[in-house]
Amino acid sequence: MFKKLLIAAVAVVAGLAVLNHSLVKVWYKEACGKAKSMVPPEVRLKQLNSEIDNIDKDIKKNISRLARMEVDVKMFEEQLDAKRDRQAHLRSEIGDMQKSLQGNHTEKVAFHGRKVASSRLTNQLEMNVTEFTSLKEAVKVQEQLLVDKKRTLEVAHNRITEMKNEKEKLRLLSTRLATHLELVKMKQIQSQEIAFDDSAISNAREIAKDVETSLRVAETNSRLNSQFGYAEKTVIEKEAKSTEEVLKSAREALQDDELGDKVEAVVEKK
């Protein structure tokens, strides 16, 4: 009974551990996503340019590896060419030895213009055949290996070219993103300025509307008061005249009066 309870407890603990691990992964992923979304685009753009610079470092590392690969292939090909030359030389030697030994049972035979013991030439022929056979197999294998090495070298060349092209594309993309970022900033500034202007214009229009309403109310109030006999009489105060103006008016009045008296006297005499 105790053993069963222990097994069940272990199973529960293991399940909780797995569940907690999954939850931690989910929480971590969500936290990373939120953290990235909070990073300003300017900072992300700098990160992009930094990674693009790292591509150059990777390319240079791969170029060093490529240089070693090219040297290895070149040296391997030179060694293979040497084996081919040796194989061709052995082929020629074997043919000449066959001609010298065939149909000749004497102790010495002619070989390359000199007399050589038949037994010695036979042994040399056997060694040459053995070496030629071994070289033939080695050359065949190494020729296929050279093809594979060259193919791998070509793939490496193409990979570096692709990395270089991809870097240039990313550099161009970074430039476009930087331009886009500047345009977004400019639009944000413009929208803020326009919002400020709109607010001032709206306030001015509201004030103008209030003034117009007040004037219309005043006019209507005056008209209604006049209509119902409550209009206030407007007293127009005369502007006070100066002493000089009063004296001038007095002189003109006296002159007009004297002229009138003279006219009446003339009329009476007649």
Assigned token pair, 113 = 């213009």
The answer to the question of residue 51 being in a domain is: yes
Q: What contacts 47, CB < 8 A, 6 or more positions away? A: none
pLDDT band at 84 (very low <50, low <70, confident <90, very high): very high
| Cα gap 227→147, rounded to integer Å | 116
pLDDT digits (tens, 9 = 90+) for 201-216: 777 778 888 888 888 8
| Cα gap 262→106, rounded to integer Å | 195
Asked whether the beta carbons of 121 and 93 are under 8 A apart, the reply is: no
pLDDT digits (tens, 9 = 90+) for 125-136: 899 999 999 999
Taking every pair of Cα atoms in the chain, the longest distance, rounded to a whole number of angstroms, is 204
SS3 of 110, please? strand
pLDDT over 60 at 179, yes or no: yes
The answer to the question of residue 248 being in a domain is: no
pLDDT band at 239 (very low <50, low <70, confident <90, very high): low
The average pLDDT across 80-99 equals 93
Assigned token pair, 251 = 């002189």
The DSSP code for 236 is -
pLDDT of residue 128: 93
pLDDT over 90 at 91, yes or no: yes
pLDDT over 70 at 9, yes or no: no
pLDDT of residue 210: 85
pLDDT over 60 at 264, yes or no: no
**∠ Cα 41 44 48 (to 5°):** 135
pLDDT of residue 171: 93
The residue with greater pLDDT, 127 or 246, is 127
pLDDT band at 257 (very low <50, low <70, confident <90, very high): low
Q: What is the mean pLDDT of the chain?
A: 80
Assigned token pair, 178 = 């930087």
The residue with greater pLDDT, 18 or 128, is 128
pLDDT over 60 at 196, yes or no: no
**∠ Cα 13 31 51 (to 5°):** 125
The average pLDDT across 192-208 equals 69
Distance of CA 113 to the CA centre of its chain: 79
Asked whether the beta carbons of 139 and 83 are under 8 A apart, the reply is: yes
Q: What contacts 136, CB < 8 A, 6 or more positions away? A: 87
Decide: pTM greater than 0.95: no
pLDDT over 80 at 103, yes or no: no
pLDDT of residue 5: 59
The answer to the question of residue 157 being in a domain is: yes
The DSSP code for 114 is E
Give me the number of domains the chain comprises. Answer: 1
pLDDT of residue 159: 94
The residue with greater pLDDT, 224 or 171, is 171
**∠ Cα 51 57 58 (to 5°):** 90
The answer to the question of residue 63 being in a domain is: yes
The answer to the question of residue 16 being in a domain is: no
Q: What contacts 10, CB < 8 A, 6 or more positions away? A: none
CATH of the domain at 107: 1.10.287
The answer to the question of residue 186 being in a domain is: no
pLDDT over 60 at 83, yes or no: yes
Beta bridge partners of 117: 108
Write out the residue range of the structural domain in which residue 119 sits: 39-177
Percentage of the chain modeled with pLDDT above 90: 40
The answer to the question of residue 92 being in a domain is: yes
Which residue in 63, 82, 77 sits closest to 150, CA to CA?
Answer: 77
Which residue in 73, 95, 93 sits closest to 85, CA to CA?
Answer: 93
Owner of token pair 């060419």: 81
The answer to the question of residue 54 being in a domain is: yes
The DSSP code for 100 is H
